[in-house]
Structure 1
Amino acid sequence: MTEPLDVLVFYSPVESTEDVLAAVFAAGAGAIGDYTECAWRVEGSGQFRPGPGADPAIGSVGALERLPEHRVEVTLPRSARRRVVAALRGAHPYEEPAFHVIATADVDTG
Protein backbone atom coordinates (compact mmCIF):
# COMPACT_ATOMS: atom_id res chain seq x y z
CA MET A 1 0.00 0.00 0.00
CA THR A 2 1.35 3.43 -0.91
CA GLU A 3 1.31 6.34 1.46
CA PRO A 4 -1.58 8.81 1.07
CA LEU A 5 -0.74 12.05 -0.72
CA ASP A 6 -1.61 15.64 0.03
CA VAL A 7 -1.66 18.53 -2.40
CA LEU A 8 -0.02 21.80 -1.38
CA VAL A 9 -1.30 24.90 -3.15
CA PHE A 10 0.55 28.15 -2.60
CA TYR A 11 0.76 31.62 -4.09
CA SER A 12 4.13 33.23 -4.76
CA PRO A 13 5.42 36.41 -6.37
CA VAL A 14 6.60 35.30 -9.82
CA GLU A 15 10.24 36.19 -9.12
CA SER A 16 10.28 34.01 -5.96
CA THR A 17 8.57 30.87 -7.26
CA GLU A 18 11.73 28.96 -8.21
CA ASP A 19 13.28 29.48 -4.75
CA VAL A 20 10.10 28.41 -2.96
CA LEU A 21 9.76 25.35 -5.21
CA ALA A 22 13.38 24.36 -4.56
CA ALA A 23 12.70 24.47 -0.81
CA VAL A 24 9.52 22.39 -0.91
CA PHE A 25 11.13 19.88 -3.29
CA ALA A 26 14.10 19.53 -0.91
CA ALA A 27 11.61 18.89 1.93
CA GLY A 28 9.96 16.00 0.08
CA ALA A 29 7.27 17.49 -2.19
CA GLY A 30 6.88 17.05 -5.91
CA ALA A 31 7.46 13.31 -6.46
CA ILE A 32 4.94 11.29 -8.45
CA GLY A 33 6.03 7.72 -9.10
CA ASP A 34 9.41 7.79 -10.87
CA TYR A 35 9.20 11.56 -11.49
CA THR A 36 10.53 14.30 -9.24
CA GLU A 37 10.17 18.09 -9.09
CA CYS A 38 6.62 17.85 -10.42
CA ALA A 39 4.59 21.04 -10.11
CA TRP A 40 1.79 22.90 -11.83
CA ARG A 41 1.71 26.67 -11.96
CA VAL A 42 -0.32 29.42 -13.53
CA GLU A 43 0.27 33.16 -13.44
CA GLY A 44 -2.39 35.50 -12.18
CA SER A 45 -2.80 38.70 -10.23
CA GLY A 46 -2.61 38.61 -6.44
CA GLN A 47 -3.66 41.39 -4.12
CA PHE A 48 -3.39 42.22 -0.44
CA ARG A 49 -3.54 45.17 1.93
CA PRO A 50 -1.12 44.97 4.89
CA GLY A 51 -2.86 45.91 8.12
CA PRO A 52 -1.56 47.67 11.22
CA GLY A 53 1.24 45.64 12.77
CA ALA A 54 2.21 43.99 9.48
CA ASP A 55 5.79 44.07 8.20
CA PRO A 56 5.21 43.51 4.47
CA ALA A 57 8.01 42.28 2.21
CA ILE A 58 6.26 44.05 -0.66
CA GLY A 59 4.13 47.20 -0.42
CA SER A 60 3.35 49.25 2.65
CA VAL A 61 0.92 49.14 5.56
CA GLY A 62 -2.52 50.38 4.57
CA ALA A 63 -1.86 50.39 0.80
CA LEU A 64 -3.54 47.91 -1.53
CA GLU A 65 -0.89 45.99 -3.46
CA ARG A 66 -1.45 44.08 -6.73
CA LEU A 67 1.27 42.08 -8.39
CA PRO A 68 1.89 39.07 -10.64
CA GLU A 69 1.86 35.84 -8.66
CA HIS A 70 1.99 32.14 -9.44
CA ARG A 71 -0.53 29.68 -8.08
CA VAL A 72 1.54 26.53 -7.61
CA GLU A 73 0.38 22.99 -6.85
CA VAL A 74 2.61 20.09 -5.75
CA THR A 75 1.92 16.67 -4.26
CA LEU A 76 3.60 15.41 -1.12
CA PRO A 77 3.48 12.33 1.07
CA ARG A 78 1.13 12.99 3.98
CA SER A 79 3.95 12.15 6.43
CA ALA A 80 5.98 15.07 5.00
CA ARG A 81 3.22 17.65 5.47
CA ARG A 82 4.75 19.44 8.48
CA ARG A 83 8.26 19.47 6.97
CA VAL A 84 7.07 20.74 3.57
CA VAL A 85 4.90 23.51 5.07
CA ALA A 86 7.84 24.60 7.25
CA ALA A 87 10.06 24.73 4.14
CA LEU A 88 7.42 26.80 2.32
CA ARG A 89 7.20 29.29 5.19
CA GLY A 90 10.99 29.50 5.48
CA ALA A 91 11.59 30.15 1.76
CA HIS A 92 8.59 32.35 0.96
CA PRO A 93 9.26 36.09 0.92
CA TYR A 94 5.88 37.06 2.41
CA GLU A 95 5.41 37.53 6.13
CA GLU A 96 2.17 35.49 5.87
CA PRO A 97 2.25 33.27 2.76
CA ALA A 98 -1.14 32.16 1.45
CA PHE A 99 -1.40 28.38 1.05
CA HIS A 100 -3.64 25.42 1.69
CA VAL A 101 -3.11 21.69 2.03
CA ILE A 102 -5.64 19.26 0.57
CA ALA A 103 -5.80 15.60 1.61
CA THR A 104 -6.44 13.46 -1.46
CA ALA A 105 -8.90 10.59 -1.67
CA ASP A 106 -7.67 7.00 -1.97
CA VAL A 107 -8.27 6.14 -5.62
CA ASP A 108 -6.68 2.66 -5.47
CA THR A 109 -9.59 0.98 -3.69
CA GLY A 110 -12.39 -1.08 -5.17
Structure 2
Amino acid sequence: MPRQHRHLVTLAACLALPYIALYARCTSVWRITGSWLPSSAAQPYQGTAGEVQRAEECRVESFCERDQAATVLTAVRAAHPYEEAVVHFLPLYDPLSAPDVD
Protein backbone atom coordinates (compact mmCIF):
# COMPACT_ATOMS: atom_id res chain seq x y z
CA MET A 1 0.00 0.00 0.00
CA PRO A 2 1.19 3.55 -0.43
CA ARG A 3 3.21 4.64 2.59
CA GLN A 4 0.88 7.56 3.30
CA HIS A 5 -1.98 5.08 3.88
CA ARG A 6 -0.17 2.67 6.20
CA HIS A 7 -1.44 4.25 9.42
CA LEU A 8 -5.08 4.32 8.34
CA VAL A 9 -5.09 0.75 7.01
CA THR A 10 -3.14 -0.58 10.01
CA LEU A 11 -5.49 1.21 12.40
CA ALA A 12 -8.51 -0.28 10.62
CA ALA A 13 -7.07 -3.78 10.96
CA CYS A 14 -6.11 -3.29 14.59
CA LEU A 15 -9.47 -1.84 15.59
CA ALA A 16 -11.10 -4.97 14.18
CA LEU A 17 -9.08 -7.08 16.63
CA PRO A 18 -9.34 -7.47 20.37
CA TYR A 19 -6.20 -7.56 22.48
CA ILE A 20 -3.71 -10.31 21.74
CA ALA A 21 -2.87 -11.47 25.24
CA LEU A 22 -2.17 -8.13 26.96
CA TYR A 23 -1.29 -6.13 23.82
CA ALA A 24 -3.15 -4.32 21.05
CA ARG A 25 -2.10 -2.93 17.66
CA CYS A 26 0.66 -5.51 17.15
CA THR A 27 2.07 -4.95 13.67
CA SER A 28 5.27 -4.94 11.64
CA VAL A 29 5.80 -2.65 8.65
CA TRP A 30 8.33 -3.05 5.83
CA ARG A 31 9.18 -0.62 3.07
CA ILE A 32 9.06 -2.47 -0.24
CA THR A 33 9.07 -1.72 -3.95
CA GLY A 34 5.83 -2.90 -5.51
CA SER A 35 5.20 -3.46 -9.19
CA TRP A 36 1.97 -4.05 -11.09
CA LEU A 37 0.43 -3.87 -14.55
CA PRO A 38 -3.11 -2.48 -14.51
CA SER A 39 -5.34 -3.88 -17.26
CA SER A 40 -6.96 -1.48 -19.70
CA ALA A 41 -10.21 -1.77 -17.68
CA ALA A 42 -8.53 -0.92 -14.35
CA GLN A 43 -8.78 2.38 -12.59
CA PRO A 44 -5.50 2.32 -10.67
CA TYR A 45 -5.02 4.41 -7.56
CA GLN A 46 -1.53 5.18 -8.85
CA GLY A 47 -0.17 4.95 -12.38
CA THR A 48 -1.75 4.42 -15.77
CA ALA A 49 -3.77 1.48 -17.08
CA GLY A 50 -1.75 -0.62 -19.53
CA GLU A 51 1.65 0.54 -18.20
CA VAL A 52 3.91 -1.33 -15.77
CA GLN A 53 4.14 0.61 -12.52
CA ARG A 54 6.72 0.55 -9.72
CA ALA A 55 6.50 2.46 -6.48
CA GLU A 56 7.68 2.47 -2.89
CA GLU A 57 5.00 0.89 -0.76
CA CYS A 58 4.56 -0.63 2.68
CA ARG A 59 3.79 -4.17 3.65
CA VAL A 60 2.02 -4.59 6.98
CA GLU A 61 1.99 -7.80 8.96
CA SER A 62 -0.11 -8.67 11.98
CA PHE A 63 -1.87 -11.73 13.30
CA CYS A 64 -5.32 -12.77 14.38
CA GLU A 65 -7.32 -15.83 15.28
CA ARG A 66 -9.01 -17.74 12.47
CA ASP A 67 -12.47 -16.59 13.55
CA GLN A 68 -11.35 -12.94 13.34
CA ALA A 69 -9.98 -13.09 9.78
CA ALA A 70 -13.18 -12.08 7.95
CA THR A 71 -13.65 -9.04 10.19
CA VAL A 72 -10.04 -7.96 9.68
CA LEU A 73 -10.26 -8.47 5.91
CA THR A 74 -13.43 -6.37 5.69
CA ALA A 75 -11.83 -3.56 7.73
CA VAL A 76 -8.60 -3.55 5.70
CA ARG A 77 -10.38 -3.55 2.34
CA ALA A 78 -12.65 -0.69 3.44
CA ALA A 79 -9.64 1.45 4.43
CA HIS A 80 -7.24 0.43 1.64
CA PRO A 81 -6.98 2.81 -1.35
CA TYR A 82 -6.36 0.14 -4.02
CA GLU A 83 -9.05 -1.44 -6.18
CA GLU A 84 -7.65 -4.86 -5.28
CA ALA A 85 -5.87 -4.90 -1.95
CA VAL A 86 -3.61 -7.94 -1.61
CA VAL A 87 -4.32 -9.49 1.78
CA HIS A 88 -3.07 -12.94 2.77
CA PHE A 89 -3.92 -14.97 5.86
CA LEU A 90 -1.30 -17.61 6.64
CA PRO A 91 -1.74 -20.25 9.34
CA LEU A 92 1.10 -20.27 11.86
CA TYR A 93 2.43 -23.18 13.88
CA ASP A 94 3.08 -22.60 17.59
CA PRO A 95 5.06 -25.59 18.94
CA LEU A 96 4.25 -24.64 22.53
CA SER A 97 0.51 -24.85 22.05
CA ALA A 98 0.33 -27.62 19.44
CA PRO A 99 -0.68 -31.12 20.56
CA ASP A 100 2.11 -33.66 20.90
CA VAL A 101 2.56 -35.86 17.86
CA ASP A 102 4.51 -39.07 18.28
Secondary structure of the residue aligned to 2:48 is coil
Per-residue CA deviation, residues 17-64 of structure 1 (Å, 9 max, x unaligned), is 0000011111117x4321111101110111111102111111110111
The AA in structure 1 aligned to 2:36 is F
Match of 1:28 in 2: 17
Matched residue count = 98
Counterpart Cα distance in 2 of 1:72 and 1:106: 21
- Quote how far apart the aligned CAs of 1:106 are: 4.2
Q: Which structure 2 segments of 5+ residues have no match? A: none
The AA in structure 2 aligned to 1:48 is W
Match of 1:4 in 2: none
The AA in structure 1 aligned to 2:64 is L
- Identify the match of residue 83 of structure 2 among 81, 87, 95: 95
Contact 1:28 1:77 (C-alpha < 8 Å) held by counterparts: no
TM-score (normalizing by structure 2) = 0.87
Larger Rg: 2
Give % identity: 31
Answer 1 or 2: which has greater strand percent. 1
Q: Which structure 1 segments of 5+ residues have no match? A: 1-11
Q: Over aligned residues, Cα RMSD in angstroms?
A: 1.4
- Quote how far apart the aligned CAs of 1:84 are: 0.5
Question: Where does structure 1 differ by over 4 angstroms across 4 or more consecutive aligned residues?
Answer: none
TM-score (normalizing by structure 1) = 0.82
Q: Does structure 1 residue 85 correspond to structure 2 residue 50?
A: no
